[in-house]
Structure 1
Amino acid sequence: MREAYHVELDNLADRLSGMSSQVADAMERATRALLDSDLKLAEQVISDDVKVDDARADCEEKAYALLALQAPVATDLRIVVAALHAAESLERMGDLALHVAKAARRRHPDPVLPEQVRAAFAKMGEVDVRLARKAEEVIRTKDVEAARSIEADDDEVDDIHRNLFSVIMDKDWPHGVATAVDVTLLGRFYERYADHAVSVARRIVFVVTGRMPGYTGSDV
């Protein structure tokens, strides 16, 4: 029975790593759609989002079944609880990629981004996809050091995001209010995507160590 139970835990981790791969693909395609005004890619991201939603529902169903039927304790309980939180974060990452794709579709055939911010979004997209790929690996390996390294990559996205504000707030910004709003919202989508990848990584650290990163309370 215990062997079968641990097979179920491994299957749950496999589902989560699969979700991470899905949302990495989604953001990669959404960024290409945004930069290239590629309507076909944007539509693919939009239509595929339901698969991410279904994957979350499947993960949650499996996790709740394990809680109800197996009454896990200690590390096993941490795995199940972390899986519930991670599935939620991964679904949000898929939703954020969806928002990027919808922006590309809404403005098509016109480009969404002015030339002066394209490089910033290309870089944020690259880092976001790298974060999701790392999260996929961390879920499979439970490598704590790799999980912690994700926060350093998130800092890079934060820096680019902050710099975008200085660009659009410059008095010489020539692209008008509508474009400034688009850039602001899109920048937020990329920044939040990275934050959710960090959240997934922190859950893996919690599984392995029993503590969330940054916890400062005393033992009881």
Structure 2
Amino acid sequence: MRVTFHGELVQLREQLVAMCAMAAQAMRQASRALLMADLDLAERVIAGDAALDQARGGCEDHAQSLLALQAPVASDLRSILAAVYSAEKIERMGDLAAHIADTARFSHPDHAVPADLEDTFARLGEIAAGMADRLGELIGQPGVDGFAELDETDHAVDALHSRVLTTITGPGWPYGVRTATSLALLARFHERFADQAVSVAKRLDFAATGEFPA
């Protein structure tokens, strides 16, 4: 019975790993759509968000069946509850990528990001997608301390977020309030995407050790 149960936990982790891959792809495609003013790609990202919603539901159903049919000990119970928490956060990462794609769609045929901030937003998208990739690796290797690593990466996202805000609120900003507001939201979407990844990593560490990392 325990062998079967732990096999189910492995499958649950695999579902979460797949969700991370979907979130990473959504962020990469949303970033490309944003920077290239690619309407078709933006539409695909938005439409594809439903698949992550369904994947979250599948993880939650699987976790609930394990809770109902098994009697998990403390560490296993933490793993199951962490999976439910993680599925919600990863699904939210997909939502945030879809928000970025929606901004690209709304701005089309114009570019939402001025040329002098393209590199900054390209870097934001690259780091955020990489965090989703790394999160998938951490989920697939339970017990690995990943919170400190992703938290450090998140500092780079925070710095880029701050750079955007400083630029759009500076006295020499030439693109107006509407563009500044849109860019502030875009930077926030990237920043929140990264925050969700860090939050999952923190919960994974708790599931492995029984203590939240400082």
TM range (shorter): over 0.9
Deviant stretches of 4+, over 3 Å? none
Which piece of structure 1 moves more, 63-72 or 119-128? 63-72
Unaligned runs of 5+ in 1: 215-220
2:142 match = 142
Match of 2:192 in 1: 192
Which residue does 2:63 correspond to in 1?
Answer: 63
- Distance, in Å, in 2 between the alignment partners of 1:183 and 1:143 is 38
TM-score, with structure 2 as normaliser = 0.97
**TM-score if structure 1 supplies the norm length?**
0.95
Range with greater deviation from structure 2 (111-120 or 54-63): 111-120
Is contact 2:147-2:213 (8 Å) kept? Answer: no
Q: 1:180-203: CA deviations, max 9, x gaps?
A: 010000000000000000011111
2: CA distance, partners of 1:4 / 1:72: 12
Q: CA RMSD in A?
A: 0.9
Same amino acid, percent of matched pairs:
46
- 1:43-69 Cα offsets, whole Å, 9 max, x none, are 110111000000000000111111111
Q: Is the Cα–Cα contact under 8 Å of residues 29 and 42 in structure 2 kept in the other structure? A: yes
8 A contact 2:24–2:129 mirrored in 1: yes
Give the Å deviation of 1:143.
4.8
Q: Where does structure 2 lack aligned partners over 5 or more consecutive residues? A: none
Aligned length: 214
Does the 8 Å contact 1:138/1:147 carry over to 2?
no
1:157 matched to 2:160? The reply is no
Alignment of 1:73-84 (within 5 A): 73-84=73-84
Larger displacement relative to structure 2 (111-120 or 124-133): 111-120
CA distance in 2, matches of 1:192, 1:87: 16
Residue in structure 2 matched with residue 52 of structure 1 by the alignment: 52
Residues of 1 paired with 2:103 and 2:18: CA distance? Answer: 26
